[in-house]
Chain A
Amino acid sequence: MIEDTGIVVAFWVLALTTVGCAAMVAAVRELIQAVLFLALSFIGVAGIYIVLSADFVAVVQVLIYAGAIAVLMTFAVMLTPAADRKNSETTFAGPALVLAGLVLSVIVFVAYDTSWNISGRAAFPSTAASLGEAFLKPYVVPFEVASVLLLVAMVGAIVLTKEESADA
């Protein structure tokens, strides 16, 4: 499966897109451009999910990360007073590079140290159906707890940002 020429080509194209866009996020000086490159990087990750035949996760990745999170980030940038078109140099560039290098070395070490088992089973016929079964049958309690948590977070955000109205 993974040895197919098409799959290998698709993987490398997607991987280069993802990593290249992620690098551009750090490299560009304009925050909005960084957010847009991040969205492109998210779409590349979704493509890698498709290569791994996880179509449901891929589509949700596009829906939530590229669709919702990116729009949220643009709004965050728009509401940040210090976000200029040309951002000045920051003193944290050096420490950030060191930290990123450390994280990269850990990931590379783990990737080389692990003995990767190749799964013998075939691809899932339908990931959406099996995910739905899993969410609504064995894992229904964590699923519902997570949704209640999100609801609480939403109500909390509304309470925090609600203006005290003078006349009401």
Chain B
Amino acid sequence: MLLMRVTLPRKLSLGLCLLLALSAREISAQSYQGRELVKATLLADTSAVVPGKPFTAGLLLRMAPGWHTYWKFSGDAGLPTEIKWKLAPGWKAGEIEWPIPLKTNDPGDIQTYGYQDEVLLMQEITPPPVIDDSVVKLTEEVNWLVCEKICIPGSANLQLELPKSTTSAAANTELFARYRRLLPQNWPGSNVATANWSRAGSDLHLTVTSAAVANYPSADFYPLPQGNTIVGHPKVQSRKPNEIVFRIPIESADKNLLSMQGLIVFAQRENGSDRVAWRLASPAIASAVGSAPARGTITFLFFGFLGGLILNLMPCVLPVISLKIFGFIQQAGQSRQKVLRSGLAFVAGIFVWFIGLALLLIALKAAGREITWAFQFTNAYFVLFMSVVVLVFALNLFGVFEISLPQTTTRGLLGATERKGEAGSFFQGVFATILATPCTAPFLGTALGFAFSQSPAIILSMFLAIAAGMSAPYLLLCARPAWLRFLPRPGPWMLHAKQFMGFLLLATLLFLLYVLGAQRGLEGAIWASCFLLIVSMACWMKGAFFSPVASGKAKMIAGATMSILLLAGAVYFIGDKFSAAKIGPGESQLPGDWQAFTPERLQAELAQGRSVFVDFTAAWCLTCKFNEKSVLESAAVREAFQRHGVVKLKADWTSGDPAITKLLQQFGRPGVPLYVLYPGKSEEPIVFPELLTKSIILDKLENISPTVASQ
């Protein structure tokens, strides 16, 4: 590297030349292999220094075409330009005022922030109140890195000479004015724009709400990470007319980082010369951090509670809940204490399950596993196990057999009947909650999405809130048993109602078998059903031959037969047949014009300039099925997709495909459903709400039509 001293500037205006002649300065040029790469000039916005009156000094860097220097945060490569002033005592230099940089993307997903052609880095200089010399000499050492295909470091010692005077005139007006326009503005008042931060896993989410958003097709967040924070590439997560959400991945381990300094950059197009920016500085962030998350947590806990309350009405749980209500009705005439004990046991069952689930999630999270809601339903054996439980309960309701908990072991300390009642209530609570999980995703999705990214304590609180919500009605009945009288009186109708509930459970079983079919194909569902048949027979034998009145010998034979049947059935149908069952070649075909999602296919379609819609779904996700039938497969939406040439991909998460799990997490979702429209390669994906409507889809499709039409 070579430093050359050039005496006369070239492309400066006549007026500027005059001023330059008046105030001597140093210009420095960096050359590389005979080419001038960077010319550095030190300038001031004043013709003279007035003691005590601040002025602005500017380092003008002119880069050869194609070469660039870097912003305060250089991005994935490069280094910011450094300025070290050598000022006499009493003089002060302010921070560098960095103009809004350009964002560059290079192959290999390398993103940098910098300046091409020319940049002026301004700093406020405050002279002391008394200056002895008649001519002021200010010196600075500058270091920069200039890159094109290769990077070359450069440096210069620059000097600015200005006369001391009692008055001063403006100098280099046009240049300074041009770069002042390119400086980021301070954050406007909260009546103009608000910024809210939240943390979701390893991502920060920044929501900017302002009417100004609508005026600029291009909006971006340029991060200014502090300390050891490593930031990924910020992306626009979603956009509404007056709201934009940025997703900012944090790659370093600072789990407590809740916000970041940076610029919100607006322009008509990316890197446009009309770009303007708001500076998101520490004070604005501090206030956001102070209030928002605290309120956020309580709000989300409230939603958790509400979600838990609503769970009682879900079709998944209703049959079990009804059982409990029966219990209450039966107990209406009994002692208050007994009612209370049974109710609390039921509630304890609910809490134990949720606490267990929370602890499991915390443990999995600690182990670094990818966690998602309803994840247990992606496991075919779990679904099978639930099928068995549901069937056994249904047969019990039909009166095929009675559930008798091991009385011999519990008889003693407490009355046997009491113990039986409480243990039964407890397991009903657990059972109700297990069944509830697939129904909860749409209602609790938001709250859980929040919770999964939080500390173990918050995850646990969240699950406790849901448990509390679900238990609330029973706790209420326990606390005010008198209100039980609003429930109908016991009578023979109860037997019929009980049997009717059995059919509801069988309907649940059908749903579970459907899920199994989606996971393991028709064969898998049939083998599972074979095993269920064996289970039914065992239940029948239990009712018919294992009754308390049967002789010991009959019991022994029945018990042995049942055990052998169950064991043989499990080994043959499950261990052998079911475990080997795969989805048959004809079964995995997707409906109509849908194609199976793979990350590669998504990239390939986008690379060809097509818009892509991805439906993240699962066989056990009822909300997904509802959305698909009522919206995605409706004639209007199908026609619109076709007209806009949108490629439709189905991401089937029924068996928990890890590639899909990863993408779900990128969108901050713990589970399905998720609907995303990628309008094109360079545009940010649009995320739709979990409950779709035709109009939402049609609106967004109309908006992307210009892009599509131009291709």
Are A and B co-members of a single complex? no
**A contacts, CB < 8 Å to B:** none
**B contacts, CB < 8 Å to A:** none
